[in-house]
Amino acid sequence: MLGRTPLAAAIRALREELAGGPRADLGRDVRELEELLAQRELRRFATVRGPAEQELLAALPDAAALVSKEGWVRASNAAFDTLAATGRAAGLTPLEITRSAELHEAVRRALEGTARRLELTIQRRTYLAHLSPLLRGEVLVLLRDVTEAKRAAATRRDFVANASHELRTPISAIRAAAETLLSGAMDDATAAHGFVEIVARQADRLSRLTQDLLDLSRIESKQWTLEVAPVDAAPFARQALEPAVVAAREKGLALRSEVPEGTIVRADPRALEQVLVNLVDNAVKYTAEGSVAIRAAREGNDWIISVVDTGPGIERHHLERIFERFYRVDAGRSREAGGTGLGLAIVKHLVQGMGGEIGVESGAGGSRFWVRLPAV
């Protein structure tokens, strides 16, 4: 900021000049201040003109701005303004707004008359930028946020790749067994019986996988309508143990439900049943000895329902991804146990659909999968 003395001297010199005295020497600082004020007024005047342009920019769904021949934003819509730290883009250059050297270079080339289309990252989001030179020497900048679209596309690609991989294994096993039978193994009753068992086992695995895929698709597409109502979780906990009784008996595992009567939660009955069945099934598969128990504890306005096992536990770096589709802590062991890699993903979607939360805690003494649901 200018000191008081140069400014006061300049004012006195101007007064003397206007009173008929010699031409005032304002000094370098005062002349620079004069130029900056004039430039600011020019920009202010430029940004407030053209209401029709402003209306057109406001009607665009993408972040949009007009960049002047001098390289600063003359007009912009609200979406583009949100990119600026001050909340207003007018009067600033695209580089000052976005800190993107790529966009700065693209604007420079567009001002020279070259239209540009590029993908760039601004503030950790991905944008598809279109820069179009205009007849009066300015540039129209359009920034379309494609972050979610790219994430969804990547998710679809991963899903197709993972599903194809999971389907290939049982199909290959069935094909190999069928070819062996057709090659003459059918004449050997003992060998034929073994190959037929392989076909039956792999067909069952295919059936489970396709059913889980259909369930997940229905949940994500909102075709599985959840009807949340007051539900007593105690009978559902007991019923969730029944499908796992045979597998637990073969391993010598103890199954227990410690959910007290009157554990009333807001949930969809079918969804709650599938959540508990899947969690118990998962615990039994990976627990070699000890027990699997369902427990419940009141916590404020919620009930925490947990499935606790005495298995080997899950390493910490797996915990953040354990609920992803097809994610496996131990791929070989999971397939051998008959898992599809979708059970925990289904559980997560169902719990979230009921307005609840799900999480996991694990250590050397076992794992605890917990579900938080509103109490009634």
Provide the residue ranges of all domains of the chain, joining segments of one domain with +. 4-48, 51-145, 150-220, 229-374
> Tell me, what amino acid is at 35?
E
CA 90 to chain centre: 32
> Tell me, what amino acid is at 145?
D
How far is the first Cα of the chain from the last one, in angstroms, to the nearest whole number?
Answer: 65
Average pLDDT over residues 146-157: 83
The answer to whether domain 51-145 and domain 150-220 are alike in fold is no
Give, in order, the Cα–Cα distances in Å from 252 to each of 283, 284, 288, 332: 14, 10, 8, 23
CATH class of 229-374: alpha beta
**Where do the DSSP E strands lie in 181-338?**
229-232, 254-258, 264-267, 291-299, 302-309
**Beta-bridge mates of residue 129:** 118, 143
State pLDDT tens for residues 100-147.
Answer: 999 999 999 999 999 999 999 998 899 999 999 998 889 999 999 999
Q: Which residue has the higher pLDDT, 375 or 169?
A: 375
CATH of domain 150-220: 1.10.287.130
Where does the pLDDT of residue 44 fall: very low under 50, low under 70, confident under 90, or very high at 90 and above? low
Average pLDDT over residues 321-341: 65
d(CA 178, CA 239): 38
d(CA 265, CA 233): 7
Q: Which residue has the higher pLDDT, 352 or 29?
A: 352
Q: What is the pTM of this model?
A: 0.56
CATH class of 51-145: alpha beta
**Where do the DSSP E strands lie in 203-283?**
229-232, 254-258, 264-267
